[in-house]
Amino acid sequence: MAGYGDVKLLRDDGLRLDGRKLDEMRPVTIEAGILPAADGSAMVTQGLNVAVAAVYGPMEAHPRKIQRQDRAVIDVRYNMAPFSTSDRIRPGFNRRSREISKVTAEALESVVLVERYPRSKIRVEIEILAAEAGTRCAGLTAAAVALADAGIPMRDLLVGVASGKVEDIVVLDLDKAEDNYGQADLPVGILPNTGEVAFLQMDGDLSPDEFNLAMEYNFKAAAEIHVIMVDALKRRYEGGEK
Amino acid sequence: MVELVPALLRQELARLAEDNIRLDGRGQWEGREVDLEINCLYNAEGSAKVVMGKTIVYAGVKFELRTPWPDRPAQGSLMCSAELRPVAHRKYEPGPPSPESIELGRVVDRGIRESGCIDMESLCIVPGEKVWGVMIDIHVLSDGGNIFDACGLAAIAALRTAIVPAERFDVGEDYTLKVKGAPIMASFTRVGGRYVYDPSEEEELGGDERIHITLGDNGHLHSLQKGLRGVFTPAEFAEIFGVAHQRCTELRKLVALQEGN
Protein backbone atom coordinates (compact mmCIF):
# COMPACT_ATOMS: atom_id res chain seq x y z
CA MET A 1 0.00 0.00 0.00
CA ALA A 2 1.28 3.42 -0.90
CA GLY A 3 1.78 5.56 2.17
CA TYR A 4 1.04 9.26 1.91
CA GLY A 5 2.27 10.66 5.18
CA ASP A 6 1.24 14.22 4.41
CA VAL A 7 -2.52 13.61 4.56
CA LYS A 8 -3.84 14.20 8.04
CA LEU A 9 -5.94 11.28 9.26
CA LEU A 10 -5.93 11.82 13.01
CA ARG A 11 -7.35 14.85 14.78
CA ASP A 12 -5.53 16.82 17.42
CA ASP A 13 -7.70 15.23 20.12
CA GLY A 14 -6.39 11.79 19.05
CA LEU A 15 -9.65 10.72 17.46
CA ARG A 16 -10.01 9.80 13.80
CA LEU A 17 -11.48 12.10 11.14
CA ASP A 18 -14.95 10.58 11.49
CA GLY A 19 -14.75 10.87 15.27
CA ARG A 20 -14.04 7.23 16.01
CA LYS A 21 -11.60 6.06 18.65
CA LEU A 22 -8.54 4.10 17.48
CA ASP A 23 -10.09 0.75 18.35
CA GLU A 24 -13.63 1.59 17.33
CA MET A 25 -15.23 -0.01 14.30
CA ARG A 26 -17.83 1.53 12.03
CA PRO A 27 -21.43 0.63 12.85
CA VAL A 28 -22.38 -2.82 11.57
CA THR A 29 -25.85 -4.06 10.70
CA ILE A 30 -26.68 -7.54 9.49
CA GLU A 31 -29.85 -9.01 8.09
CA ALA A 32 -30.23 -12.69 7.17
CA GLY A 33 -32.50 -14.20 4.55
CA ILE A 34 -32.99 -11.13 2.39
CA LEU A 35 -32.96 -12.80 -1.06
CA PRO A 36 -35.98 -15.02 -1.69
CA ALA A 37 -34.45 -16.83 -4.68
CA ALA A 38 -31.39 -18.01 -2.75
CA ASP A 39 -31.03 -20.98 -0.39
CA GLY A 40 -29.39 -18.64 2.09
CA SER A 41 -28.56 -14.95 2.03
CA ALA A 42 -27.47 -11.96 4.07
CA MET A 43 -26.83 -8.26 3.83
CA VAL A 44 -24.07 -6.63 5.84
CA THR A 45 -23.59 -2.91 6.15
CA GLN A 46 -20.43 -1.62 7.73
CA GLY A 47 -20.19 2.13 7.69
CA LEU A 48 -21.19 2.99 4.14
CA ASN A 49 -20.29 -0.46 2.77
CA VAL A 50 -23.15 -2.62 1.61
CA ALA A 51 -22.35 -6.28 0.95
CA VAL A 52 -24.90 -8.89 -0.08
CA ALA A 53 -24.23 -12.62 -0.14
CA ALA A 54 -26.29 -15.45 -1.62
CA VAL A 55 -25.71 -19.17 -1.18
CA TYR A 56 -26.94 -21.84 -3.60
CA GLY A 57 -26.49 -25.51 -2.90
CA PRO A 58 -25.04 -27.90 -2.05
CA MET A 59 -25.58 -28.98 -5.65
CA GLU A 60 -23.87 -31.26 -8.12
CA ALA A 61 -20.43 -29.91 -8.92
CA HIS A 62 -20.09 -28.66 -12.48
CA PRO A 63 -17.91 -28.72 -14.47
CA ARG A 64 -16.87 -32.20 -13.48
CA LYS A 65 -13.20 -31.40 -13.25
CA ILE A 66 -13.80 -29.28 -10.15
CA GLN A 67 -15.45 -32.24 -8.34
CA ARG A 68 -13.72 -33.66 -5.30
CA GLN A 69 -14.48 -37.25 -4.35
CA ASP A 70 -14.14 -36.62 -0.63
CA ARG A 71 -15.67 -33.20 -0.08
CA ALA A 72 -17.64 -30.27 -1.42
CA VAL A 73 -15.95 -27.39 -3.19
CA ILE A 74 -16.98 -23.83 -2.46
CA ASP A 75 -17.28 -21.60 -5.47
CA VAL A 76 -17.07 -17.95 -4.46
CA ARG A 77 -17.62 -14.96 -6.64
CA TYR A 78 -16.86 -11.56 -5.15
CA ASN A 79 -18.15 -8.81 -7.44
CA MET A 80 -18.41 -5.06 -7.14
CA ALA A 81 -21.50 -3.54 -8.76
CA PRO A 82 -20.68 -0.97 -11.44
CA PHE A 83 -22.21 1.77 -9.30
CA SER A 84 -20.56 0.73 -6.04
CA THR A 85 -17.62 3.13 -6.28
CA SER A 86 -17.20 6.76 -7.17
CA ASP A 87 -15.92 5.97 -10.69
CA ARG A 88 -18.00 3.34 -12.45
CA ILE A 89 -16.44 -0.11 -12.51
CA ARG A 90 -16.64 -1.97 -15.78
CA PRO A 91 -18.77 -5.06 -15.23
CA GLY A 92 -16.99 -8.37 -15.08
CA PHE A 93 -14.19 -10.06 -13.23
CA ASN A 94 -10.88 -8.34 -12.78
CA ARG A 95 -7.65 -9.51 -11.17
CA ARG A 96 -8.54 -8.05 -7.81
CA SER A 97 -11.96 -9.69 -7.64
CA ARG A 98 -10.52 -13.01 -8.81
CA GLU A 99 -7.95 -13.00 -6.05
CA ILE A 100 -10.44 -12.02 -3.36
CA SER A 101 -12.84 -14.71 -4.59
CA LYS A 102 -10.12 -17.33 -4.39
CA VAL A 103 -8.89 -16.58 -0.88
CA THR A 104 -12.46 -16.13 0.37
CA ALA A 105 -13.38 -19.55 -1.01
CA GLU A 106 -10.38 -21.11 0.69
CA ALA A 107 -11.27 -19.43 3.97
CA LEU A 108 -14.86 -20.68 3.79
CA GLU A 109 -13.69 -24.19 2.87
CA SER A 110 -11.73 -24.10 6.13
CA VAL A 111 -14.86 -23.63 8.25
CA VAL A 112 -17.64 -25.36 6.32
CA LEU A 113 -17.89 -29.10 7.02
CA VAL A 114 -17.21 -29.83 3.37
CA GLU A 115 -16.63 -33.55 4.00
CA ARG A 116 -20.38 -33.90 4.48
CA TYR A 117 -21.02 -33.20 0.80
CA PRO A 118 -18.69 -35.20 -1.45
CA ARG A 119 -18.71 -34.36 -5.18
CA SER A 120 -20.88 -31.33 -4.65
CA LYS A 121 -20.53 -27.61 -4.95
CA ILE A 122 -21.71 -24.78 -2.78
CA ARG A 123 -22.03 -21.50 -4.63
CA VAL A 124 -21.39 -18.32 -2.69
CA GLU A 125 -22.10 -15.06 -4.49
CA ILE A 126 -20.87 -11.85 -2.90
CA GLU A 127 -22.11 -8.60 -4.40
CA ILE A 128 -20.81 -5.26 -3.21
CA LEU A 129 -23.48 -2.62 -3.76
CA ALA A 130 -21.64 0.25 -2.10
CA ALA A 131 -17.94 0.37 -1.33
CA GLU A 132 -16.13 2.45 1.23
CA ALA A 133 -13.03 0.37 2.13
CA GLY A 134 -13.25 -3.01 3.79
CA THR A 135 -15.59 -4.68 1.32
CA ARG A 136 -13.83 -8.04 1.33
CA CYS A 137 -14.35 -8.28 5.09
CA ALA A 138 -18.00 -7.22 4.91
CA GLY A 139 -18.40 -9.74 2.08
CA LEU A 140 -16.81 -12.51 4.13
CA THR A 141 -19.10 -11.79 7.08
CA ALA A 142 -22.12 -11.72 4.76
CA ALA A 143 -21.05 -15.03 3.20
CA ALA A 144 -20.79 -16.68 6.63
CA VAL A 145 -24.26 -15.53 7.66
CA ALA A 146 -25.68 -16.61 4.29
CA LEU A 147 -24.13 -20.08 4.68
CA ALA A 148 -25.65 -20.39 8.14
CA ASP A 149 -28.97 -19.16 6.74
CA ALA A 150 -28.75 -21.89 4.09
CA GLY A 151 -28.39 -24.45 6.87
CA ILE A 152 -24.90 -25.52 5.88
CA PRO A 153 -22.94 -26.96 8.82
CA MET A 154 -19.84 -25.04 9.83
CA ARG A 155 -17.25 -25.22 12.58
CA ASP A 156 -17.83 -21.57 13.39
CA LEU A 157 -19.29 -18.35 12.03
CA LEU A 158 -16.39 -16.76 10.19
CA VAL A 159 -16.07 -13.01 10.75
CA GLY A 160 -14.26 -10.62 8.42
CA VAL A 161 -12.51 -7.68 10.08
CA ALA A 162 -9.58 -5.41 9.29
CA SER A 163 -7.17 -3.18 11.11
CA GLY A 164 -4.50 -0.97 9.70
CA LYS A 165 -2.09 1.84 10.35
CA VAL A 166 -2.46 5.56 9.81
CA GLU A 167 0.09 8.18 10.83
CA ASP A 168 2.13 5.43 12.53
CA ILE A 169 -0.82 4.54 14.75
CA VAL A 170 -2.69 1.23 14.60
CA VAL A 171 -6.42 1.66 14.07
CA LEU A 172 -9.35 -0.70 13.70
CA ASP A 173 -11.51 -0.89 10.57
CA LEU A 174 -10.10 1.59 8.05
CA ASP A 175 -12.52 3.86 6.23
CA LYS A 176 -11.99 5.13 2.70
CA ALA A 177 -9.58 7.95 3.49
CA GLU A 178 -7.60 5.81 5.92
CA ASP A 179 -7.40 3.03 3.37
CA ASN A 180 -6.25 5.38 0.61
CA TYR A 181 -3.72 7.35 2.61
CA GLY A 182 -2.85 4.98 5.43
CA GLN A 183 0.26 2.87 5.80
CA ALA A 184 -1.08 -0.65 6.23
CA ASP A 185 -4.18 -2.78 5.98
CA LEU A 186 -4.63 -6.17 7.63
CA PRO A 187 -7.89 -7.90 6.72
CA VAL A 188 -8.50 -11.21 8.45
CA GLY A 189 -11.22 -13.84 8.82
CA ILE A 190 -11.59 -15.00 12.38
CA LEU A 191 -13.34 -17.99 13.96
CA PRO A 192 -14.52 -16.26 17.11
CA ASN A 193 -15.23 -19.40 19.11
CA THR A 194 -11.95 -21.17 18.48
CA GLY A 195 -9.77 -18.10 18.08
CA GLU A 196 -8.40 -19.40 14.79
CA VAL A 197 -7.77 -17.43 11.61
CA ALA A 198 -9.01 -18.66 8.24
CA PHE A 199 -8.42 -15.59 6.08
CA LEU A 200 -5.35 -13.40 6.10
CA GLN A 201 -4.07 -10.70 3.81
CA MET A 202 -1.96 -7.67 4.48
CA ASP A 203 -0.24 -4.92 2.64
CA GLY A 204 1.75 -1.92 3.77
CA ASP A 205 4.20 -1.67 6.61
CA LEU A 206 3.70 -3.01 10.14
CA SER A 207 6.24 -3.73 12.86
CA PRO A 208 5.80 -6.96 14.85
CA ASP A 209 4.34 -4.96 17.73
CA GLU A 210 2.00 -3.11 15.44
CA PHE A 211 0.91 -6.42 13.91
CA ASN A 212 0.13 -7.82 17.35
CA LEU A 213 -1.90 -4.78 18.30
CA ALA A 214 -3.76 -4.84 14.97
CA MET A 215 -4.61 -8.50 15.54
CA GLU A 216 -5.75 -7.73 19.07
CA TYR A 217 -8.10 -5.08 17.66
CA ASN A 218 -9.30 -7.54 15.02
CA PHE A 219 -10.13 -10.23 17.58
CA LYS A 220 -11.98 -7.74 19.74
CA ALA A 221 -14.02 -6.50 16.76
CA ALA A 222 -14.69 -10.05 15.58
CA ALA A 223 -16.28 -10.85 18.93
CA GLU A 224 -18.51 -7.79 18.61
CA ILE A 225 -19.53 -8.58 15.03
CA HIS A 226 -20.14 -12.22 15.96
CA VAL A 227 -22.82 -11.09 18.41
CA ILE A 228 -24.53 -9.12 15.63
CA MET A 229 -24.31 -12.11 13.26
CA VAL A 230 -25.90 -14.45 15.77
CA ASP A 231 -28.57 -11.89 16.49
CA ALA A 232 -29.39 -11.58 12.77
CA LEU A 233 -29.81 -15.35 12.48
CA LYS A 234 -31.96 -15.47 15.60
CA ARG A 235 -34.19 -12.71 14.27
CA ARG A 236 -34.54 -14.67 11.05
CA TYR A 237 -35.61 -17.91 12.65
CA GLU A 238 -37.15 -17.11 16.01
CA GLY A 239 -40.28 -15.77 14.36
CA GLY A 240 -40.88 -19.20 12.88
CA GLU A 241 -40.24 -17.95 9.35
CA LYS A 242 -39.24 -20.28 6.50
CA MET B 1 -35.43 -31.64 -13.11
CA VAL B 2 -35.06 -29.04 -15.80
CA GLU B 3 -37.59 -30.81 -18.06
CA LEU B 4 -39.82 -32.69 -15.65
CA VAL B 5 -40.85 -30.00 -13.22
CA PRO B 6 -42.01 -27.50 -15.86
CA ALA B 7 -44.09 -30.23 -17.52
CA LEU B 8 -45.99 -30.89 -14.30
CA LEU B 9 -46.19 -27.20 -13.59
CA ARG B 10 -47.58 -26.55 -17.07
CA GLN B 11 -50.35 -29.06 -16.47
CA GLU B 12 -51.25 -27.43 -13.20
CA LEU B 13 -51.16 -23.92 -14.66
CA ALA B 14 -53.35 -25.04 -17.58
CA ARG B 15 -55.83 -26.57 -15.17
CA LEU B 16 -56.01 -23.39 -13.08
CA ALA B 17 -56.30 -21.24 -16.22
CA GLU B 18 -59.59 -22.93 -17.11
CA ASP B 19 -61.14 -21.12 -14.17
CA ASN B 20 -58.90 -18.09 -14.72
CA ILE B 21 -57.14 -18.70 -11.42
CA ARG B 22 -53.48 -17.96 -10.77
CA LEU B 23 -51.13 -20.06 -8.70
CA ASP B 24 -50.68 -17.31 -6.11
CA GLY B 25 -54.36 -16.33 -6.12
CA ARG B 26 -53.97 -13.07 -8.02
CA GLY B 27 -56.40 -11.91 -10.67
CA GLN B 28 -55.36 -12.16 -14.30
CA TRP B 29 -54.38 -8.50 -14.53
CA GLU B 30 -53.34 -8.02 -10.93
CA GLY B 31 -49.72 -7.16 -10.13
CA ARG B 32 -47.81 -8.01 -7.03
CA GLU B 33 -47.30 -5.27 -4.50
CA VAL B 34 -44.45 -3.02 -5.61
CA ASP B 35 -42.03 -1.57 -3.11
CA LEU B 36 -39.94 1.27 -4.53
CA GLU B 37 -37.08 2.92 -2.68
CA ILE B 38 -35.10 5.77 -4.19
CA ASN B 39 -31.68 7.21 -3.39
CA CYS B 40 -30.69 4.07 -1.54
CA LEU B 41 -27.11 3.56 -2.72
CA TYR B 42 -24.12 5.52 -1.53
CA ASN B 43 -21.64 6.18 -4.40
CA ALA B 44 -24.30 5.97 -7.11
CA GLU B 45 -25.32 9.37 -8.50
CA GLY B 46 -28.91 8.17 -8.62
CA SER B 47 -30.34 4.89 -7.38
CA ALA B 48 -33.45 2.86 -6.79
CA LYS B 49 -34.46 -0.49 -5.37
CA VAL B 50 -37.56 -2.34 -6.49
CA VAL B 51 -39.09 -5.29 -4.68
CA MET B 52 -41.95 -7.18 -6.34
CA GLY B 53 -42.75 -10.41 -4.58
CA LYS B 54 -39.58 -12.48 -4.64
CA THR B 55 -37.93 -10.20 -7.19
CA ILE B 56 -35.37 -7.68 -6.00
CA VAL B 57 -33.44 -5.36 -8.30
CA TYR B 58 -31.23 -2.33 -7.83
CA ALA B 59 -30.36 0.31 -10.38
CA GLY B 60 -27.52 2.79 -10.08
CA VAL B 61 -26.64 5.75 -12.29
CA LYS B 62 -23.05 6.84 -12.98
CA PHE B 63 -21.71 9.63 -15.19
CA GLU B 64 -18.53 9.91 -17.19
CA LEU B 65 -17.01 12.59 -19.39
CA ARG B 66 -16.44 11.45 -22.93
CA THR B 67 -15.99 12.75 -26.44
CA PRO B 68 -19.26 12.80 -28.39
CA TRP B 69 -20.01 10.51 -31.30
CA PRO B 70 -18.73 12.20 -34.49
CA ASP B 71 -22.21 12.27 -36.05
CA ARG B 72 -23.76 13.83 -32.93
CA PRO B 73 -21.20 16.31 -31.68
CA ALA B 74 -23.62 18.21 -29.43
CA GLN B 75 -25.27 15.25 -27.74
CA GLY B 76 -24.41 13.25 -24.68
CA SER B 77 -25.05 9.55 -24.48
CA LEU B 78 -27.17 7.16 -22.50
CA MET B 79 -26.41 3.52 -21.83
CA CYS B 80 -28.51 1.14 -19.87
CA SER B 81 -27.36 -2.37 -19.14
CA ALA B 82 -28.58 -5.16 -16.94
CA GLU B 83 -26.62 -7.91 -15.31
CA LEU B 84 -28.11 -11.28 -14.52
CA ARG B 85 -25.43 -12.33 -12.12
CA PRO B 86 -25.36 -15.75 -10.49
CA VAL B 87 -26.42 -14.15 -7.21
CA ALA B 88 -29.96 -13.74 -8.56
CA HIS B 89 -30.93 -17.35 -9.14
CA ARG B 90 -29.45 -20.80 -9.34
CA LYS B 91 -30.20 -20.84 -13.06
CA TYR B 92 -27.75 -18.01 -13.78
CA GLU B 93 -24.15 -18.94 -14.36
CA PRO B 94 -21.03 -16.83 -14.37
CA GLY B 95 -19.55 -15.76 -17.66
CA PRO B 96 -19.88 -13.09 -20.30
CA PRO B 97 -23.28 -11.37 -20.57
CA SER B 98 -25.93 -13.87 -21.65
CA PRO B 99 -28.39 -13.19 -24.48
CA GLU B 100 -31.09 -12.91 -21.78
CA SER B 101 -29.30 -10.13 -19.91
CA ILE B 102 -28.50 -8.31 -23.16
CA GLU B 103 -32.14 -8.44 -24.20
CA LEU B 104 -33.25 -7.22 -20.78
CA GLY B 105 -30.85 -4.28 -20.78
CA ARG B 106 -31.71 -3.29 -24.32
CA VAL B 107 -35.46 -3.42 -23.82
CA VAL B 108 -35.19 -1.19 -20.75
CA ASP B 109 -32.74 1.05 -22.60
CA ARG B 110 -35.11 1.50 -25.56
CA GLY B 111 -38.05 2.41 -23.37
CA ILE B 112 -36.08 5.15 -21.64
CA ARG B 113 -34.21 6.39 -24.69
CA GLU B 114 -37.15 6.46 -27.07
CA SER B 115 -39.44 8.20 -24.62
CA GLY B 116 -37.15 11.19 -24.99
CA CYS B 117 -37.21 11.74 -21.24
CA ILE B 118 -33.58 12.84 -21.38
CA ASP B 119 -32.65 15.77 -23.55
CA MET B 120 -29.37 14.51 -25.01
CA GLU B 121 -28.32 18.02 -25.94
CA SER B 122 -28.50 19.09 -22.31
CA LEU B 123 -25.67 16.60 -21.71
CA CYS B 124 -23.29 18.51 -23.96
CA ILE B 125 -20.53 20.50 -22.27
CA VAL B 126 -18.28 21.48 -25.20
CA PRO B 127 -19.69 20.54 -28.63
CA GLY B 128 -17.48 18.09 -30.43
CA GLU B 129 -15.23 17.70 -27.43
CA LYS B 130 -16.84 16.96 -24.12
CA VAL B 131 -20.22 15.49 -23.23
CA TRP B 132 -21.71 13.51 -20.37
CA GLY B 133 -22.18 9.80 -20.74
CA VAL B 134 -25.01 8.58 -18.51
CA MET B 135 -24.81 4.94 -17.50
CA ILE B 136 -27.63 3.09 -15.84
CA ASP B 137 -26.56 -0.24 -14.42
CA ILE B 138 -29.25 -2.64 -13.30
CA HIS B 139 -28.33 -5.33 -10.84
CA VAL B 140 -30.79 -8.17 -10.35
CA LEU B 141 -30.28 -9.63 -6.88
CA SER B 142 -33.21 -12.04 -6.76
CA ASP B 143 -35.19 -13.30 -9.74
CA GLY B 144 -38.67 -14.13 -8.54
CA GLY B 145 -40.32 -13.49 -11.90
CA ASN B 146 -40.97 -10.46 -14.13
CA ILE B 147 -37.56 -8.91 -13.74
CA PHE B 148 -38.26 -6.82 -16.86
CA ASP B 149 -40.82 -4.59 -15.15
CA ALA B 150 -38.75 -4.41 -11.97
CA CYS B 151 -35.66 -3.40 -13.97
CA GLY B 152 -37.56 -0.85 -16.03
CA LEU B 153 -39.03 0.74 -12.92
CA ALA B 154 -35.73 0.75 -11.02
CA ALA B 155 -33.91 2.27 -14.00
CA ILE B 156 -36.26 5.20 -14.54
CA ALA B 157 -36.65 5.84 -10.81
CA ALA B 158 -32.85 5.86 -10.39
CA LEU B 159 -32.43 8.17 -13.37
CA ARG B 160 -34.98 10.60 -11.99
CA THR B 161 -33.01 10.94 -8.74
CA ALA B 162 -29.64 11.41 -10.43
CA ILE B 163 -27.36 14.33 -9.61
CA VAL B 164 -24.83 15.23 -12.31
CA PRO B 165 -21.46 15.21 -10.46
CA ALA B 166 -20.02 18.20 -12.30
CA GLU B 167 -17.91 19.35 -9.36
CA ARG B 168 -16.04 16.07 -9.13
CA PHE B 169 -15.18 16.32 -12.83
CA ASP B 170 -14.30 20.03 -12.62
CA VAL B 171 -16.94 21.19 -15.08
CA GLY B 172 -19.12 23.45 -12.95
CA GLU B 173 -21.58 22.88 -10.16
CA ASP B 174 -23.53 19.73 -9.44
CA TYR B 175 -27.10 19.79 -10.67
CA THR B 176 -30.08 17.51 -10.83
CA LEU B 177 -30.39 15.62 -14.11
CA LYS B 178 -33.42 16.85 -16.00
CA VAL B 179 -35.75 13.96 -16.75
CA LYS B 180 -39.06 14.64 -18.44
CA GLY B 181 -41.72 12.10 -17.59
CA ALA B 182 -41.37 8.47 -16.63
CA PRO B 183 -41.57 5.69 -19.21
CA ILE B 184 -42.94 2.59 -17.49
CA MET B 185 -42.93 -1.04 -18.61
CA ALA B 186 -45.69 -3.60 -18.25
CA SER B 187 -45.01 -7.27 -19.00
CA PHE B 188 -47.31 -10.15 -19.80
CA THR B 189 -46.63 -13.87 -20.11
CA ARG B 190 -48.89 -16.48 -21.64
CA VAL B 191 -49.74 -18.94 -18.88
CA GLY B 192 -52.10 -21.84 -19.45
CA GLY B 193 -53.15 -20.35 -22.78
CA ARG B 194 -54.02 -16.82 -21.68
CA TYR B 195 -51.94 -13.78 -20.82
CA VAL B 196 -51.35 -12.68 -17.25
CA TYR B 197 -49.80 -9.45 -16.03
CA ASP B 198 -46.65 -9.51 -13.88
CA PRO B 199 -45.80 -13.23 -14.10
CA SER B 200 -44.30 -14.92 -11.06
CA GLU B 201 -41.27 -17.19 -11.24
CA GLU B 202 -43.48 -20.30 -11.49
CA GLU B 203 -45.64 -18.73 -14.17
CA GLU B 204 -42.56 -17.92 -16.24
CA LEU B 205 -41.18 -21.43 -15.77
CA GLY B 206 -44.42 -23.07 -16.84
CA GLY B 207 -45.51 -20.39 -19.29
CA ASP B 208 -44.91 -19.46 -22.91
CA GLU B 209 -44.11 -16.26 -24.75
CA ARG B 210 -43.94 -12.88 -23.10
CA ILE B 211 -44.71 -9.33 -24.24
CA HIS B 212 -43.17 -6.18 -22.83
CA ILE B 213 -44.82 -2.81 -23.38
CA THR B 214 -43.25 0.49 -22.35
CA LEU B 215 -45.54 3.51 -22.22
CA GLY B 216 -44.78 7.18 -21.80
CA ASP B 217 -46.71 9.71 -19.71
CA ASN B 218 -49.01 10.48 -22.64
CA GLY B 219 -49.82 6.79 -23.14
CA HIS B 220 -47.65 6.50 -26.24
CA LEU B 221 -45.71 3.32 -26.91
CA HIS B 222 -41.94 3.64 -26.61
CA SER B 223 -40.79 0.06 -26.75
CA LEU B 224 -42.29 -3.29 -27.51
CA GLN B 225 -40.71 -6.69 -27.31
CA LYS B 226 -41.98 -10.19 -27.77
CA GLY B 227 -39.77 -12.85 -26.27
CA LEU B 228 -39.71 -16.66 -26.29
CA ARG B 229 -41.64 -19.13 -28.43
CA GLY B 230 -45.30 -18.42 -29.19
CA VAL B 231 -47.74 -16.27 -31.16
CA PHE B 232 -50.55 -13.90 -30.26
CA THR B 233 -53.53 -12.32 -31.98
CA PRO B 234 -54.20 -8.59 -32.44
CA ALA B 235 -57.24 -8.97 -30.17
CA GLU B 236 -55.04 -10.38 -27.41
CA PHE B 237 -52.63 -7.51 -27.85
CA ALA B 238 -55.41 -4.96 -27.70
CA GLU B 239 -56.53 -6.41 -24.39
CA ILE B 240 -53.12 -6.37 -22.73
CA PHE B 241 -52.39 -2.95 -24.16
CA GLY B 242 -55.40 -1.62 -22.26
CA VAL B 243 -54.20 -3.31 -19.08
CA ALA B 244 -50.68 -1.99 -19.61
CA HIS B 245 -52.03 1.54 -19.79
CA GLN B 246 -53.72 1.19 -16.40
CA ARG B 247 -50.82 -0.52 -14.66
CA CYS B 248 -48.26 1.95 -16.05
CA THR B 249 -50.33 4.87 -14.84
CA GLU B 250 -50.45 3.35 -11.35
CA LEU B 251 -46.72 2.73 -11.26
CA ARG B 252 -46.01 6.26 -12.49
CA LYS B 253 -48.02 7.54 -9.54
CA LEU B 254 -45.91 5.38 -7.25
CA VAL B 255 -42.73 6.94 -8.65
CA ALA B 256 -44.16 10.42 -8.08
CA LEU B 257 -45.25 9.47 -4.58
CA GLN B 258 -41.76 8.27 -3.63
CA GLU B 259 -40.20 11.39 -5.07
CA GLY B 260 -42.61 13.53 -3.07
CA ASN B 261 -41.53 11.93 0.20
- Asked if A166 and A181 touch (Cβ cutoff 8 Å), the reply is yes
For residues A214-226, average pLDDT: 97
Residue A20 lies in a domain: no
User: Using CA atoms, how far apart are residues B52 and A93, in angstroms rounded to an integer?
Assistant: 29
Chain B interface mutation, best of A56, A88, A135, highest count of B Cβ atoms under 10 Å: A88
**DSSP state, residue B90:** T
B235 CA to chain A: closest CA distance, Å?
A: 35
Contact between residue B95 and residue B102 where contact means Cβ atoms under 8 Å apart: no
Structural domain including B42 reads 34-260
Helix (H) or strand (E) holding B224: strand B221-227
**pLDDT confidence bin for B1, thresholds 50/70/90:** very low
Assess if residue B26 is contained within a domain: no
Give residue B2's pLDDT band: very low, low, confident or very high (50, 70, 90): low
Q: Compute the average pLDDT of residues B156-169.
A: 96
Cβ–Cβ under 8 Å, residues A184 and A171: no
Residues 6+ apart with CB under 8 A from A75: A66, A105, A121, A122, A123, A124
Top pLDDT among B2 and A239 is at A239
pLDDT digits 0-9 by tens, A61-100: 988 888 999 999 999 999 999 999 999 998 887 889 999 9
Residue A18, domain member (yes or no): no
Task: Answer whether residue B230 is part of any domain.
Answer: yes
- The verdict on residue A122 lying in a domain is yes
Percent above pLDDT 90 for chain B: 86
The answer to whether residue A8 sits within a structural domain is no
* Nearest chain A CA: its distance from B86 CA (Å): 7
Identify which has the larger pLDDT, B61 or A200. B61
Contact between chains at B87 and A38 (C-beta distance less than 8 A): yes
Contact A87 B62 (CB under 8 A): yes
Determine what percent of chain A is predicted with pLDDT higher than 70.
96
DSSP conformational letter for B86: G
Q: Could you tell me if residue B24 is inside a domain?
A: no
A1 band by pLDDT with thresholds 50, 70 and 90 = very low
Whether the pLDDT of residue A51 is over 50: the answer is yes
**Within a domain: A193:** yes
Q: Contact B66/B133 with Cβ under 8 angstroms?
A: yes
CB-based contact (8 Å) between B204 and chain A? no
Q: B8 in a domain, yes or no? A: no
Contact B137 A86 (CB under 8 A): no
Q: Which ipTM did the prediction report?
A: 0.76
Report the CATH number that the domain containing residue B171 is assigned in CATH: 3.30.230.70
All residues of chain A having their beta carbon less than 8 Å from the beta carbon of residue B50 are: none
- State the smallest CA–CA distance between residue A207 and chain B in angstroms: 34
pLDDT of residue A6: 65
Q: Is residue B27 one of the residues assigned to a domain?
A: no
Of A188-197, A208-217, A231-240, give the lowest mean pLDDT range: A231-240
| Contact between chains at A83 and B43 (C-beta distance less than 8 A) | yes
pLDDT for res B244: 96
Which CATH number fits the domain that encloses residue A161? 3.30.230.70
Tell me what pLDDT residue B4 has. Answer: 66
Minimal C-alpha gap between A36 and chain B (Å): 5
Q: Is the pLDDT of residue A2 over 50?
A: no
> Which residues of A are less than 8 Å from B64 in CB distance?
87-88
Distance CA B130, CA B126 (A): 5
Domains of chain B: total: 1
- Listed by number, the residues of chain A in 92-131 with a beta carbon closer than 8 Å to a beta carbon of chain B are 92, 123, 125-127, 129-131
Q: Does A8 touch chain B (CB under 8 A)?
A: no
Residue A148 has pLDDT above 60, yes or no: yes
Q: A81 and B60 in contact by Cβ < 8 A?
A: yes
Cis peptide before A63 (omega within 30 of 0): yes
Which residues of chain B neighbour A44 with C-beta distances below 8 Å?
none
Element at B58 (helix H, strand E) = strand B55-66
Which pLDDT value is given to residue B229? 83
Q: Is B171 inside a domain boundary?
A: yes
Question: In this complex, which of B43, B86, B88 lies closest to A77 when CB atoms are compared?
Answer: B86
Query: 3-state SS string over chain A?
Result: CCCCCCCCCECCCCCECCCCCCCCCCCEEEEECCCCCCCEEEEEEECCEEEEEEEEEEEECCCHHHCCCCCCEEEEEEEECCCCCCCCCCCCCCHHHHHHHHHHHHHHHHHECHHHCCCEEEEEEEEEEECCCCHHHHHHHHHHHHHHHCCCCECCCCEEEEEEEECCEEEECCCHHHHHHCCEEEEEEEECCCCEEEEECCEECCCHHHHHHHHHHHHHHHHHHHHHHHHHHHHHHHCCCC
Contact state of B87 with A54 under an 8 Å Cβ cutoff: yes
Q: Do B61 and A83 touch (CB under 8 A)?
A: yes
Find, in chain A, the residue whose alpha carbon is nearest to that of B56. Answer: A35
Residues 221-260 on B with a CB inside 8 Å of A are: none
By residue range, what is the domain housing residue A96? Answer: 28-238
Chain segment B93-111, per-residue pLDDT in tens: 888 888 899 999 999 999 9
- Domain count across chain A: 1
Band of residue A128 on the pLDDT scale cut at 50, 70, 90: very high
Closest chain B residue to the Cα of A143, Cα to Cα: B87
Interface of A with B in 76-95 (CB under 8 A): 77, 79, 81-88, 91-92
Residue contact A129–B139, C-beta within 8 A: yes
Strand, helix or coil for residue B91: coil
Q: Classify residue B58 as exposed, middle or buried by CB count within 10 Å of its CB (0-12, 13-18, 19+).
A: buried
- Return the pLDDT at A94: 86
Q: Is the pLDDT of residue A195 over 80?
A: yes
**Residue B17, CA distances (Å) to A66, B22, B194, B197, B201 in order:** 44, 7, 7, 13, 16
Nearest-Cα distance to chain B for A124, in Å, is 8
pLDDT tier, A124 (very low <50, low <70, confident <90, very high otherwise): very high
Q: Which residues pair with A112 in a beta bridge?
A: A154
The answer to whether residue A152 sits within a structural domain is: yes
Higher-pLDDT residue of A113, A7 = A113
Distance from the Cα of B211 to chain A's closest Cα (Å) equals 23
Residue A8 has a pLDDT of 86
DSSP class of residue B241 equals H
Q: Which chain A residue shows the shortest CA-CA distance from B133?
A: A88
Q: Do B42 and A50 touch (CB under 8 A)?
A: yes
Neighbours of B219 (CB within 10 A): 11
A5 pLDDT above the threshold of 70: no
